[in-house]
Amino acid sequence: MRRRKKQHRKFPLRPILVGVIVLLLALIAWELAQRRLYPERFRDWSRVIAYVPLDDRTDNLEDVAYAAEASGWEIVMPPRDWFRTALDGQPRNENGTPYGNREALFQWVRDMGRAGCQTFILSLDQLFSGGLVHSRSVRETWPLTFSKRATMGEIEAFRKYVLPVAKNPRNRLYLFDSLARLSPTVGYRGIGEAEYYALREYGMVPRPVLPDKDLTLQHVFSLYPYAGDRHTPAEHALEKERFRDALTPELLEMYLGVRRRKLTLTDEVLSEIQAYDNVQLLIGVDDSSNRENIQYNELRYLRTRIGDDVSSGIAVMAGLDSLARLFVGRIAQEAYDYRVRASVRYVGGTEEKHSSEFDLYTLEDVVKLHLDFFRAEQVDEKDAELQFLVMTAPENPEQSGAYIEELVSTLERNLALHIPTVLNEASNNAYGDALEQELLKRVPFAALVAYAGKYDQANVTGAAFAMGFSRYLYLRCDASGGLDADAAQVRQMANSMALTEYILHTRDPLNAYLKSLNLDTGNIPPDTPYRTQIPRKLSELFAPECQKVCGNLRNTELLCGLSPWATRKIESVSIRDYLFPWNRTFELSFTVDVSLEEP
């Protein structure tokens, strides 16, 4: 018999392959759609900072973003409308208020944590009060309303939306808050200059000093209304009658209520975070003095809660508008786990003095505070890897020219010897044009690690040290950000330089022009008939100053590496689109365009 050949069943391979390909394409299309719809789920969060700003001024937006980007990080923020402040008479936010959207911001923080973000810088003034300015006008607990069934107090919302993010040990939360300053903001909720100065003088009246054993919140609050003898109402201790007349019972009730609410919230946050090793908190002191004023017992109470170890990251700091940038530098310091050997040279001779009645600390105290915060080792110049040059007001005004020459020649020497240098111009513009002209003529700012020079001594030092440490640590330990990080560094330098020029040469003549039009320089009406002339006048005054800045940076070498020393040519820099964020001339915002030489 003939055997039959074994028949092998043929499988329909082609339809199977087609099906597999179709399935793969479907999966790819689904993932692409998911990435498009939910990009936050697929991004690399390791170098991202979720940031809730104090408000929408330049100090808290561009300055923070540039500092982060120049050190290799990316800042992600919620919509600007959610944290914007509007002065009286200015257009309101989408929700109809002049302050931030607290409920939306709390939910945004939670959502960022769920998406995978691991690093957060959060303003408690914004989350609890809708921004710094509004925090100075809220005098009692202000519940948040998330829905008809979800109304809760500030601390309860903090527990529900922020602390769950901290429960993930890989996450890092950097919170910053403010001690209530001596007076609220002019041009907000009806506060005018008369009320501002009256309340500031009222706050400056010396209060009774509590013994250490009596430093409790209730004891601090109980002494608010009284002068140093514990009996005389503080308003009766004012020497000027015009101040006493402005202090109505309603105004005083608001003022003292604001102080009680803010200190209570800060105290409760300190209690809530004490169980977390991955949460830090800075409390900024703004518009203060070195007297035993109404803030004095508040500060002593906070220090009993916090202690004296600034390096722990839970501390009271001089200044306020530099706190977010300080945390950018802190993030870099912790990410690289590197302790910088730094030296400080003062030029001018007044570092041991208070530069004005607004200063809580001397400049020397402020510098030490920031060195400790960044865990730096202060060493002699010959042993330092990073030098801070700090310009003070002149001890002897007749020697101003000699101080300027000392500073500028030291900068020239450092740059020639490739010594990484930060310039902290903390003289409160005491040298005027003379210092600025010599710096622009002889110092290529792009070769510096950082520069700050437009603030009071507390904030300018915070800005200079934050920018300096974050950029130096990036150059020393990483430098992988390439052109993006270097372009951000140029923007950071141009921004700081141009704002100094604005204060020195533009703001006063612009204010004179606006006053000639009978306009309030602290709150320009949005419907003014001069709304086209004002930008033209601003451009006429400010554009030449911007050209000075751009001329100093253009075609110079940007410091972009330390080991080995490396530079990159700046091909072009331009500054455009000037605007007032709050429709007042006190601060200015603009766009900086940069083109760098390709690697």
553 secondary structure, DSSP code: H
* Amino acid 44: pLDDT: 87
* Amino acid 479: pLDDT: 84
**One-letter identity of residue 328:** V
* Amino acid 432: pLDDT: 86
Q: What is the CATH topology of the domain spanning 39-189+258-337? A: Rossmann fold (3.40.50)
- In the block, tokens 């002019």 appear at 186
Going through 206-330 in order, the beta strands assigned E by DSSP cover 279-285, 314-318
Q: What is the CATH topology of the domain spanning 339-473? A: Rossmann fold (3.40.50)
Cβ neighbourhood burial of 327 (10 Å; 0-12, 13-18, 19+): buried
* Amino acid 19: pLDDT: 72
* Amino acid 18: pLDDT: 72
CA distances from 365 to 178, 282, 369, 371, 457 (A): 19, 17, 6, 10, 11
Task: Name every residue whose Cβ is closer than 8 Å to that of residue 459 and which is 6 or more positions away in sequence.
Answer: 59, 319, 320, 321, 322
Regions in the chain scoring below 50 on pLDDT: 1
* Amino acid 8: pLDDT: 55
* Amino acid 32: pLDDT: 58
Query: Phi first, then psi: what are they for 285, rounded to 5°?
Result: -110, 115
465 within 8 A of 388, measured Cβ to Cβ: yes
Distance (Å, whole) CA 159 – CA 268? 11
* Amino acid 6: pLDDT: 54
* Amino acid 24: pLDDT: 72
96 secondary structure, DSSP code: S
Task: Name every residue whose Cβ is closer than 8 Å to that of residue 179 and which is 6 or more positions away in sequence.
Answer: 262, 263, 266, 283, 284, 285, 286, 288, 295, 298, 299, 302, 316
Q: Nearest CA to 232 among 218, 242, 244?
A: 244
Q: Do domains 39-189+258-337 and 339-473 have the same CATH topology?
A: yes
Biggest CA pair distance of the chain: 131
* Amino acid 353: pLDDT: 85
Q: Nearest CA to 420 among 409, 429, 431, 411?
A: 411
Q: Is the peptide bond before 79 cis (omega within 30 degrees of 0)?
A: no
Extents of the domains making up the chain: 39-189+258-337, 339-473, 479-599
491 within 8 A of 66, measured Cβ to Cβ: yes
Q: What is the pLDDT of residues 433-490, one digit of tens each?
A: 999 999 999 999 999 999 999 778 888 999 999 999 999 999 999 988 899 999 999 9
Q: What is the pLDDT of residues 383-402, one digit of tens each?
A: 999 999 999 999 999 999 99
Alpha-carbon Rg for the chain in angstroms: 27
Sheet (strand 74-76) strand order: 74-76, 48-52, 119-123, 172-179, 279-285, 314-318
Distance (Å, whole) CA 64 – CA 426? 20
Distance (Å, whole) CA 110 – CA 54? 18
* Amino acid 38: pLDDT: 54
